[in-house]
Structure 1
Amino acid sequence: MTSEHKFHSYVTVATVMVMYFMIENVAPFLNQFGVAKPIVTLLSAVGIYNLFAKILSSLARNWLWLKKHLLGASFLNGTWVGEFKGSNNEKIITVESFDQTLNHLVIRGEAFKENGESYAQWISKATFINETDGVLTYTYTCDKDDDKSTFQGVCVFNFEREAAHLPPTYIKGYSTDVIDGVRTSNREKKIEDKLLPLLEAFELAKNA
């Protein structure tokens, strides 16, 4: 069951339970609506469904365990760290924050040189998670510090996970900047399900 199906299944079950209660206890009072009774019932069901959907979405935003349960294999929320080789073969450490809701994912990242000097920063523009195949694809806008340039690119990561129904603990793939088309390989590890402060994550990344 995908995360979307899981979410709507829970909301539907809650709606059915409330509607059953209403049919048992409130239906007699609806007789006064006559032929409009089916319309009133339909509108009530739609309203209750939307209410439960908003409540569940709100709970998932603020309750990490629930978000993880609902998203299942597509749960990426948290702090990820990795590394790649720069143009002069120097080690570059990456830190990415995956800020995820039930239907949206924003990725903010920064790369550092080993001495802690900032190398580049980027933010995703569009993201797509293929939960079944275990692939994350996103486009991004990047600002590089050395030459003060701004450019776009695309990143593709494959999940490394224990089973197809579980979220990944590692992601491995590459990014390609449109200015040169060169692929830069990276393998990232999740170090925390929460979003950590950038410098704290960088210190952990150096020892990951």
Structure 2
Amino acid sequence: MHPAEKFYSLVTATTIAIMFLSITLIVPLIVDLSPSSKALGSLVAILSSIGVYRIISQIAAMVIHNVVWMRKWIFGGSYLHGTWVGYFIGRNNNKRYTVEHFDQDLDGIIINGQSRDTEQKPHAEWTSISVSLDRRTGRLIYSYALNILSRQGTAIGINNSQLERTSHRSSAKTFAGHTQDLGEQSRLQLTGVKISDELLPWKYAFECARKKFP
């Protein structure tokens, strides 16, 4: 089930349960009312259900945003939110460390990344343009806008990675893949691992990257 479908199914089920309980308590109080009063009561019930649905949606969204285990349950095998670190060997055979923030909600995923050299000097930064995740196969493909600090202009490229999971229902902890800027003939091989379900500070995350991939 798609995460959005799971979310709205949960909200709908909760709304129905609350409205059923409310009607069970209210019906005995209105059975002796006039037909016009009953009609007005029905209208109030309908409007109330809409209000209850919206309130529950807002509360559920807030809970999912702040409670990690709930967010993991909603997204299941497509859960990626958090900080990922990795490395690649550049075209001049230089090692570059990478840190990526996967900001995920029901609307999709935004990926912001940076790379630094072995001396922790900034090398490049990028932001996703379009992200596609196949929840069944674990294939992650996204286009990005890349700024290499030593060059002028913005490059466009494609990242194609395979998430490593125990099953399609389990969230990933590592990935392997490649990236290629448009116009370039060669690809760069990537390796990455998730270090946190939170979006960690860049400096600390790069320190973790150096320890993970010495």
Contact 1:15 1:52 (C-alpha < 8 Å) held by counterparts: yes
Matches within 5 A, 1:1-208: 1-27=1-27, 28-29=29-30, 32-35=36-39, 39-180=43-184, 182-208=186-212
Q: Counterpart of 1:18 in structure 2: which amino acid?
A: I
Q: What TM-score results when the alignment is normalised by the length of structure 1? A: 0.90
- Alpha-carbon separation, structure 2, partners of 1:33 and 1:150: 66
Q: What TM-score results when the alignment is normalised by the length of structure 2? A: 0.88
Q: Counterpart of 1:141 in structure 2: which amino acid?
A: A
Larger mean Cα displacement after TM superposition, 126-135 or 41-50: 41-50
Which of these two proteins has the greater Rg computed from alpha carbons?
Answer: 2
Contact 1:151 1:179 (C-alpha < 8 Å) held by counterparts: no
> What are the Cα deviations for residues 132-159 of structure 1, in whole angstroms up to 9, with x where unaligned?
2212222211110122331112212211
- Alpha-carbon separation, structure 1, partners of 2:150 and 2:204: 23
Shift of 1:17: 0.8
Alpha-carbon spacing, 1:112–1:21, altered in 2? closer, same or farther (3 Å): same
Unpaired segments ≥5 residues, structure 1: none
- Alpha-carbon separation, structure 2, partners of 1:11 and 1:69: 14
Q: Percent identity?
A: 31
Shift of 1:48: 1.9
Alpha-carbon spacing, 1:39–1:158, altered in 2? closer, same or farther (3 Å): farther
Q: Counterpart of 1:25 in structure 2: which amino acid?
A: L
Unpaired segments ≥5 residues, structure 2: none
**3-state DSSP of counterpart to 1:23:** helix
- Alpha-carbon separation, structure 2, partners of 1:198 and 1:123: 15
Shift of 1:61: 1.2
